[in-house]
Amino acid sequence: MIGDHLDEYRALRSSLEERILAIATSVDGRRFELQAPLQGLALPPGGYAMLEDANGRRLGQVLSMRLEQTDAAEVGWEGSGDGPAVRSRITIRTARGEGVILSGDGAPFHDAAIRPATPEEVEAWLAEGAGTRARLPVGELRLAPGVPFAFDAGGFDRHTFFCGQSGSGKTYSLGVVLEQLLLETGLQIVILDPNSDFARLDQVRDEVDEPTAARWRALAGGIDIRSGDGAARLCVRLRELGRTLQAAMLRLDPVDDRGEHAELDSLLDDQQPATLEAMIAATQPTASELALRIRNLGIDRWGVWARDTGESVLASLGDPGVRCQVLDLGSLDSHEEAALVSAAVLGTLWERRAQRRPVLIVIDEAHNVCPSDPPDAITALATAHAVRIAAEGRKFGLYLLVCTQRPQKVEENIISQCDNLVLMRMASESDLAHVGELLSFAPRALLEGATSFRLGEALVAGKLASHPALIRFGRRVAEEGGGDVEAGWASGR
Ligand SMILES: Nc1ncnc2c1ncn2[C@@H]1O[C@H](COP(=O)(O)OP(=O)(O)OP(=O)(O)O)[C@@H](O)[C@H]1O
Ligand SMILES: [Mg+2]
């Protein structure tokens, strides 16, 4: 039995495995293949390596690693006493992998020595490529401990897809990114916030260092937070909504409801009623079906109307004095009202595209705001606007940042237009495969690692990152809104 000789077998095998060299070869100077002994291996996918030979040193990043087993020898033991003779093959295990070259002269090389890069080496390389554009410090490299990682602010002139399963830390990390954009750049931001997660974005956290806190307080005046029940009310005016949106809100189909649709059209042609009351009054003489529809749907009782006192959010959209507008959709009474505001805001930004004023449009919980299968006509319109902005908005300075835990439920034509990816923990293989298919610039092997990310960990790739990097997000400056329900009920009695 081999079991009787296990220690000897192991000793033989390790003496062979110890002789495996840690070397790498590149035929094109851009990618490399490596082999290394398994013992003490410290080259995880996403990690950094130094490749050295007589021609110099290059920094590389390992993208994938696997175990390879090869038959190396045959061994045998004589039988003794009752024990039979034993023969066995020794299989030796080698780590093999692939990676990309991050720095160096771009020349091919053969059998360069490879070792893990030190955090200092990685940091020095990052500093070299920092350039002149604003850097947004968002956290640190997970595989080069202590090395800060910053986004390239210029990368936000592309659309960004931000995803991860529920509780992976998306909204928190999104907050970290938005705070840095507000602190370090002049980009205007509009946030569609279905969960009221940014309702306290103007309040600084107690633990923040004083210089940063002071900078945040100076910014806070330019943060306009609109809530259904807040001092600055989240509201719109009927006359600002286009014909299509009004018809969608009234659930009017141009063919099935041709009488009422024609009545709405002629009302809008004649006088553009400023309020629903005015619209109902205008239809009174004929006890119109349209008036009944408005009443029966309860639209005239929605809290989202500006009425006499409210200042419409559409009027102040893009106001140069406002750096960031938070639209707290979660504070509205119904899904229809939230969808109406989303559709109106996206439609208005698109209509004003000719102004070419750069704005980052953040859509959190995008699977509800612009889903692949919209449940109603208003959401379908919001989705259509988002798709158009995704396809054509960039040249007008309309940049999307789309955040979700359900990538398969977001309209595909929005995701596929994204050139930046921030991927947090995602346990679902099918969600990951979907993201990988739509965003092929993200290295597949690193993408697969997202199943084991911890809270606050992410893969970032695209124009906003110097290279596809595994990072850990840092701390927020402003208070979180909403928040999860406290799990006090779980403590023992
Ligand atoms: N980097 C971090 N440091 C400390 N706490 C964090 C960090 N990231 C997230 N959290 C906390 O973890 C919890 C979940 O985070 P978050 O709400 O951002 O997740 P999410 O992915 O947006 O979830 P959902 O999909 O349900 O909205 C929150 O209570 C948040 O405060
Ligand atoms: Mg969230």
Contacting residues for 107 by C-beta, under 8 A, at least 6 apart: 29, 55
In the reported structure, the alpha carbon of residue 401 is separated from the centroid of ligand 2 by a whole-number distance in angstroms of 14
Dihedral angle sign, alpha carbons of residues 40, 42, 44, 50: negative
Q: Return the H-helix or E-strand segment holding 400.
A: strand 398-404
Arithmetic mean of pLDDT, 145-156: 95
- 190: number of Cβ within 10 Å: 23
CA distance 466 to 404: 24
Atom of ligand 1 nearest to the CA of 176: 1
pTM score? 0.90
- Candidate from 140-144, 291-295, 440-444, 445-449 with smallest mean pLDDT: 291-295
Query: What's the pLDDT at 491?
Result: 59
Does residue 166's CB lie within 6 angstroms of at least one atom of ligand 1?
yes
- Candidate from 142-151, 179-188, 263-272, 401-410 with smallest mean pLDDT: 263-272
- From atom 15 of ligand 1, which residue's Cα is the shortest distance away? 169
Give which of 42, 204, 177, 125 is closest to 471, Cα–Cα: 177
State yes or no: pLDDT of 391 exceeds 80: yes
- 408: number of Cβ within 10 Å: 15
List, in sequence order, the alpha helices (H) in 395-449. 412-415, 429-438, 444-448
Does residue 46's CB lie within 6 angstroms of at least one atom of ligand 1?
no
Adjacent-strand bridge partners of 324: 189, 223
Atom of ligand 1 nearest to the CA of 474: 1
- 285: number of Cβ within 10 Å: 7
Atom of ligand 1 nearest to the CA of 473: 1
Of 166, 172, 177, 475, the one to substitute when testing ligand 1's pocket (max ligand atoms within 8 A of C-beta) is 172
State yes or no: pLDDT of 105 exceeds 90: no
In the reported structure, the alpha carbon of residue 353 is separated from the centroid of ligand 1 by a whole-number distance in angstroms of 34
CA distance 234 to 237: 11
CB 307, CB 275: distance < 8 Å: yes
Does residue 407's CB lie within 6 angstroms of at least one atom of ligand 1?
no
Looking from the CA of 24 toward its CB, the CA atoms found within 13 Å total 31
Give which of 77, 47, 281 is closest to 142, Cα–Cα: 47
CATH topology of domain 135-236+304-482: Rossmann fold (3.40.50)
Query: What's the pLDDT at 188?
Result: 96
Strand order across the beta sheet in which 469-473 lies: 148-152, 135-141, 469-473, 457-462, 420-423, 160-163, 398-404, 359-363, 188-192, 324-328, 223-227
| Structure letter (DSSP) for residue 209 | -
Does residue 406's CB lie within 6 angstroms of at least one atom of ligand 1?
no
State yes or no: pLDDT of 81 exceeds 80: no
Q: What are phi and psi of 30, to 5 degrees?
A: -115, -40
List, in sequence order, the alpha helices (H) in 64-141. 119-128
Alpha carbon 464 to chain centroid distance? 12
Residues of the chain with CATH 3.40.50.300: 135-236+304-482
State yes or no: pLDDT of 493 exceeds 60: no
Task: Give 337-348 pLDDT, tens digit per residue.
Answer: 999 999 999 999
Does residue 473's CB lie within 6 angstroms of at least one atom of ligand 1?
yes
Query: What's the pLDDT at 486?
Result: 55
State yes or no: pLDDT of 485 exceeds 60: no
Does residue 167's CB lie within 6 angstroms of at least one atom of ligand 1?
yes
The helices-and-strands tally (H runs, E runs) of the chain is 15, 17
Dihedral angle sign, alpha carbons of residues 192, 198, 200, 205: negative
Determine the Cα angle at 102 with ends 96 and 107, to 5°: 85
Distance between first and last Cα of the chain? 56
Q: How far is CA 97 from CA 24, 27, 62, 228, in A?
A: 9, 15, 7, 54
CA distance 266 to 253: 15
Q: Strand, helix or coil at 364?
A: coil
Q: How far is CA 356 from CA 316, 374, 394, in A?
A: 16, 29, 10
Helix 289-297 to helix 258-270 angle (10° resolution) is 100
CB 98, CB 66: distance < 8 Å: no
| Structure letter (DSSP) for residue 152 | E
Does residue 196's CB lie within 6 angstroms of at least one atom of ligand 1?
no
Arithmetic mean of pLDDT, 290-298: 88
Helix 377-392 to helix 335-351 angle (10° resolution) is 30
Which ligand is nearest to the Cα of residue 423, counting in written order? 1
Does residue 454's CB lie within 6 angstroms of at least one atom of ligand 1?
no
Looking from the CA of 58 toward its CB, the CA atoms found within 13 Å total 28
Does residue 484's CB lie within 6 angstroms of at least one atom of ligand 1?
yes
Contacting residues for 448 by C-beta, under 8 A, at least 6 apart: 432
Query: What's the pLDDT at 2?
Result: 65
Which ligand is nearest to the Cα of residue 364, counting in written order? 2
Residue with tokens 């003496």, as numbered in its chain: 15
Band (pLDDT 50/70/90 cuts) for residue 325 is very high
Arithmetic mean of pLDDT, 19-45: 90
